[in-house]
Amino acid sequence: MAGGISERRIVAAAKVQDLVFALLGIVVLFFAMAMLATLVIDLLTDGLARINMQFLSDFPSRRPAEAGILSAWVGTTLVMFVTALLAIPLGVGAGLYLEEYAPKNWLSDLIEINVSNLAGVPSIIYGLLALGFFVYALGMGQTILVGGMVLALLILPIVVVATREAVRAVPSGLRESAYGLGCNRWQVVWSYVLPSARPGILTGAIVGLSRAIGETAPIITIGALTFIAFLPPSPLQAAPPFLNADWLSSPFTVMPIQMFNWTSRPQAGFHENAAATGVLLLGMTLIMNGFAIYLRYRLRKGLKT
């Protein structure tokens, strides 16, 4: 009898602890969401009215009312294009190799630990690495190519980890069935594993790119310009071969740097411009994450059907 009472007391105490922890978690969640909502509302209040076609189509200026972010959003777009072009193929290829081809030994374990640790390295370290190696050692200069390369290095561990997790989630029975049909390893990976893991891979890649789009420290470290009143050459041209690579070696700026430049000035008009830039940057990040969620939903729905 006494043992039954003791067990009921233990169960009751455990339920009380669970309830207290749940309530504490809800309080912390609402507090964090309230702080975030306050910051977003303040940003929208200060900058939303400033967003118009003039703001998007004009270059930066010494006069706040005439300043725009044309060079900043064009530079951001080109740098993110280079980042995606470098990070996604390398990250997906490395993740597939480590999960499907690499032998399970101490070397692969060491690589796995290092890749996971690199995902937590501060972004300024990547900027210093790019400054010392790409800019000074290789003499590549402060160009769009170097900016894309440093951001690609920054998000490469994220893409590798996301790829490995997505491939690991593919049922082993699918591989065994494919092998039973006579497929070799590459056919299994390309025709069965990769399509099944595609939702998770793309989601990880887009989340990594949404992190890179707001990074400032590595871009400032390599010497990106804070004031630029011209655009890089167009990647497209009228004459064959219709592609132009001169824009890769062009100086650039990005939206976070332009935002940082305006916040450092005393005039209130520049602070409004910085808030408007923050609103646009926040909107771009939300669109990328929303697209990742939608893409994952559609691809998973396609796999089920």
Domain ranges, ordered by start, for the chain? 2-48, 51-304
Query: What is the model's pLDDT at position 13?
Result: 79
Distance CA 160, CA 200 (A): 11
Whether 1 shows a pLDDT value over 60: the answer reads no
Top-confidence residue, 303 or 16: 16
- Contact by Cβ (8 Å): 260, 226: yes
Average pLDDT over residues 184-199: 84
SS3 state of residue 236: strand
> What is the phi-psi region of residue 139: left when phi exceeds 0, alpha when psi lies from -120 to 50, beta otherwise?
left
Top-confidence residue, 193 or 108: 193
The CA radius of gyration of the chain, in Å to the nearest whole number, is: 25
Of 61-65, 71-75, 227-231, minimum mean pLDDT range: 227-231
Identity of the residue numbered 2: A
Identity of the residue numbered 77: T
Query: What is the model's pLDDT at position 26?
Result: 92
pLDDT band at 303 (very low <50, low <70, confident <90, very high): low
Query: What is the model's pLDDT at position 302?
Result: 65
Average pLDDT over residues 55-69: 85
Query: What is the model's pLDDT at position 24?
Result: 92
Cis peptide before 241 (omega within 30 of 0): yes
Whether 22 shows a pLDDT value over 80: the answer reads yes
pTM assigned to the model:
0.83
Residue 25: other Cβ atoms inside 10 A: 10
Whether 116 shows a pLDDT value over 60: the answer reads yes
Residue closest to 288 by CA, chosen among 217, 194, 214: 214
Whether 3 shows a pLDDT value over 60: the answer reads no
pLDDT, averaged across the chain: 84
- Contact by Cβ (8 Å): 142, 191: no
CATH class of 51-304: mainly alpha
Query: What is the model's pLDDT at position 28?
Result: 93
Run of H or E residues at 247: none
Query: What is the model's pLDDT at position 249?
Result: 85
Top-confidence residue, 94 or 235: 94
- Contact by Cβ (8 Å): 197, 167: yes
54, 59, 62, 67: CA torsion to nearest 10: 20
Report DSSP letters for 2-30, one per residue.
Answer: HHHHHHHHHHHHHHHHHHHHHHHHHHHHH
Query: What is the model's pLDDT at position 86?
Result: 92
Q: Is 3 exposed, middle or buried (0-12, 13-18, 19+ CB in 10 A)?
A: exposed
Average pLDDT over residues 229-233: 82
